[in-house]
Amino acid sequence: MEPLTRIQRDARPESMLLNMGPSHPAMHGTLRIMLELDGEKILNAEAEIGYLHRGFEKTCENKTYFNLLIYTDRLNYVSPLINNLGYVMTMEKMLGVTVPERAQLIRVLMSELSRVSDHLTCLAAMAMENGAFTVFLYMMKAREFLWDVIEFTTGARMTTSYIRIGGVRADLHPDWRGSLTTAIRETRQVLKDVSGLLDKNSIFLGRTRGVGAISREDALSYGWTGPCLRSTGIPYDVRKASPYLIYDRLSFEVPVGEFGDNYDRYSVRMREMEQSLRLLEQVAGLIPDAAPLSAGPTIEPSEAIARSRRQRTGERIRLSPNLEGYEKERLPGLVATDKPIAVPPKEDTYTTMEGLISHFLFFMSGKGIRPPKGDVYFSVEGGNGEVGFYIVSDGTDRPYRLHLRAPCFHLVAALEQLIKGRLIADVVPTFGSMNMIGGELDR
């Protein structure tokens, strides 16, 4: 049979070809690395991706701008809120929407929580594959505390779809401050413990120091962004380079490494988490407590519907707990109300004719959110680099083309070069420190 891949074609007859993956404990998600070996030494490598390809971009072309938000959750499934944010802010750039201050603060809060959990997951997996199982358990524990904060407010741990075009879906959970304080305290403690376990651990250092090193020139040439680029000493961070939301008003540092090796990628992520915790504390101080909902009796939706048949109802409606924080009174602080880009308040939909009409106009095919013609690119700083969306609009309610600039696509493209000439054992920490996320890589 004709050899299909470059590595098979170019392999020397005396060397051994070995598949690592697609089903391999160290290939989180699925990725196949083909290795040409001389003993344990890697002479040549080829990475094959696409095992998690599910046609994200094609699907988006067939969904309305509102409906495709849920697919963005499933890109980088460790930090879905940042993907939501990237998509939503691209749309807002096109629509020319100003988001209320409170919603912006909540977005920063959610982004930073996601960033910490993203880094925790990456380092936990990387440490576990190097034998440090304790670190894995510690970091997963911290991540659960962070996800508690997210879950209280959004109702989901991962597939949140919380950040919506124009603002956020609902207000923060009434007890968010308590859970956030716990999460920050626990995460700080875990970071301290992990530092103690790994920073000067000779086994860990042996497998990371000087392994998988990349030069600044190569990192740029490969289009690296995020912590991996910063590990080479280039302080490029979208939050600093082109600040979005309110990042220009917050104080944080951009940690950088020196050698661009696995250890630097570990250490940059560790220090970035500390900065993110700082940001969380600042933002928590800036978010005012929600105004209490006006007192007075509330009535069931069914009762309100029955009454609205005879007259316009003025009473407050008891919304389902799934809509907690989405009361009409709170909406002006949470979503932009100057344009019909957010789901109309449920109270109106239930009880008034105009409300019902605007509800249908929002969800009907061909209506809803229709940005002007043109194309737009916008990016935010994701867990592992610049998450960019490129959207082409033809003026209808569905994108003509939607493209995701996935940061780890560029990272994994460099994998072959990083492991060439090294030992098989070096593949695992090098790959682990890149934070490859299948959902985002293969789209």
Partner 1 sequence: MGQENLIEAIRAKLGDAVEGVSDSFGDAVLTLRSAAVRAVMAALREAPFEYAVLLDLTCVDFAAAEGRFELVYHLYSLTRNVRLRLKASLPAADPSVETLVGLWKNAEWLEREVFDMFGVRFEGHPYLKRILTYEGFEGHALRKSYPWRLEQPRIPLKGDV
- Tell me the two tokens of residue 8: 């098979």
Q: Which of 77, 409, 420, 422 forms a contact with partner 1 (CB under 8 A)? A: 409
Q: Which of 65, 71, 145, 236 forms a contact with partner 1 (CB under 8 A)? A: 236
User: 250 phi and psi, to 5 degrees?
Assistant: -105, 150
The nearest distance, CB 165 to partner 1, in angstroms, is 15
> Residue 152 to residues 107, 146, 170, 319: CA-CA distances in angstroms?
15, 10, 11, 17
List own/partner pairs for 134-143 with CB under 8 A and 24 or more apart: 134/197, 135/194, 135/197, 135/198, 138/190, 138/193, 138/194, 139/190, 139/194, 141/186, 141/190, 142/183, 142/186, 142/187, 142/189, 142/190, 142/191, 143/117
Nearer of residues 169 and 410 to partner 1, judged by Cβ: 410
- Is the Cβ–Cβ distance between 377 and 390 less than 8 Å? yes
Residues 91-150 that bind partner 1 (CB under 8 A): 93-94
Residues 51-70 that bind partner 1 (CB under 8 A): 53, 55, 57-59, 61-62
Strands 167-168 and 163-164: antiparallel
The nearest distance, CB 64 to partner 1, in angstroms, is 14
Polymer length in residues for the chain: 443
Nearer of residues 259 and 409 to partner 1, judged by Cβ: 409
Q: Which of 19, 98, 189, 242 forms a contact with partner 1 (CB under 8 A)? A: 242
Is 32 near partner 1 (CB under 8 A)? Answer: no
Stretch that binds partner 1, among 74-82, 143-151, 235-243, 252-260 (CB under 8 A): 235-243
DSSP secondary structure string, 252-294?
------SS-SHHHHHHHHHHHHHHHHHHHHHHHHHSPPPPPPP
Give me the 83-102 binding string for partner 1, x by CB under 8 A, dash otherwise.
Answer: ----------xx--------
Residues 6 or more apart whose CB falls under 8 angstroms from that of 38 comprise 15, 16
The nearest distance, CB 135 to partner 1, in angstroms, is 31
Is 390 near partner 1 (CB under 8 A)? Answer: yes
Q: How far apart are CA 401 and CA 223, in angstroms?
A: 22
Q: Is 234 exposed, middle or buried (0-12, 13-18, 19+ CB in 10 A)?
A: middle
Q: Which of 400, 421, 423, 425 forms a contact with partner 1 (CB under 8 A)? A: 400
The nearest distance, CB 82 to partner 1, in angstroms, is 17
Stretch that binds partner 1, among 46-54, 324-332, 345-353, 419-427 (CB under 8 A): 46-54
The nearest distance, CB 255 to partner 1, in angstroms, is 18
The nearest distance, CB 65 to partner 1, in angstroms, is 15
Nearer of residues 93 and 188 to partner 1, judged by Cβ: 93
**Contacting positions for partner 1 (CB under 8 A):** 4-6, 49-50, 53, 55, 57-59, 61-62, 93-94, 218, 220-223, 234, 236, 241-242, 374-377, 386, 388, 390, 392, 400-401, 403, 405, 409-410, 413-414, 417, 442-443
